[in-house]
Structure 1
Amino acid sequence: MNINIKRALTGGLLAAAATGAVLVPAQASAANNTWGAISYSPSTDAWGTAINFSSGSDARYVAKDKCGHSDCQVMTLHNNCGALVTNKVAGTWWWAYAPTRSAARGQAMEFAGWSPNAKLQVTTCIGD
């Protein structure tokens, strides 16, 4: 089951949207058990990424360190791609993960309602 994570800063909500799609890692042979992470600081709009780690905890640590602020939130990736979208006008942000870069970007923008104020901050994939 593909779970996409949506985080809205204004309400502090964490919601998951599940689909019946089956995840097939984009680079299954090269990324059999590979981890990454995206971090985001709502107070500063700073972000960081970490990719191609052998453990989720290592990827989270590096991404949070690259973000550089105490309020950095982290989304972990496992054999997939992730995207971060922010809307500074509304004070909200979303992230999503999916098997491909374009699918992750599209899902995060969909969570943002394709708002003209929504800005794609970063996309990254295992294997980058």
Structure 2
Amino acid sequence: MKKMLATAAGFAAVGLSTLFTYPATAQADSYTWGAIAYSPSELIAKASWNHSTAGSAQSRALSACGRSDCRMAVTFTRCGAVAHSRANRRVSWAEGNSVRQAEANALRYADSRILRSLCTR
């Protein structure tokens, strides 16, 4: 009887250890990059998303903007937003964990309006 209980306990321990075993090599978090570029003369903002590198996202956003005065505003791995204030003649931008948070962070002036916002996931 003791031998049977010990064997059952051994099987139970092996079963539990199998349930809680993790792969030996954990995968690193993979990021997808997004970017927003804007033209100060035309007050337009264009974006790119789901790129494997920040540089690729930036290059695509600048290309999508398509104006000679386009410049990078924000590069991000979650969400980003670009806003413009007419009264202050300023463009502001920010990152966030959600579109709502990125937009709230970018609205720095009372009369700001969002030009572009998006998330990569």
**TM-score in terms of structure 2 length:** 0.70
1:42 aligns to what?
40
Q: Secondary structure at the match of 1:76?
A: strand
State the Cα distance separating 1:118 from its structure 2 match.
1.2
State the Cα distance separating 1:70 from its structure 2 match.
2.1
How far apart, in 2, do the equivalents of 1:106 and 1:53 lie? Answer: 24
How far apart, in 2, do the equivalents of 1:120 and 1:76 lie? Answer: 16
2:95 aligns to what?
97
2:118 to 115, 120, 124: 124
- Structure 1: gaps (5+ residues): 1-30
1:76 aligns to what?
75
Q: Which runs of 4+ in 1 moved over 2 A?
A: none
Greater fraction helix: 2
Q: Secondary structure at the match of 1:86?
A: strand
- Structure 2: gaps (5+ residues): 1-28
Of structures 1 and 2, the larger Rg is shown by 2
Q: Secondary structure at the match of 2:56?
A: helix
State the Cα distance separating 1:56 from its structure 2 match.
0.9
**TM-score in terms of structure 1 length:** 0.67
Count of aligned residue pairs for this structure pair: 92
How far apart, in 2, do the equivalents of 1:122 and 1:46 lie? Answer: 8
- Whether contact under 8 Å (2:81, 2:118) holds in the other structure is yes
Greater fraction strand: 1
How far apart, in 1, do the equivalents of 2:30 and 2:103 lie? Answer: 22
| Partner deviation per Cα, 1:68-90 (whole Å, 9 max, x = no partner) | 11221212112x10011101332
Q: Provide the identity percentage.
A: 29
Q: Which has the higher contact order (CA 8 A, sep 6+)?
A: 1
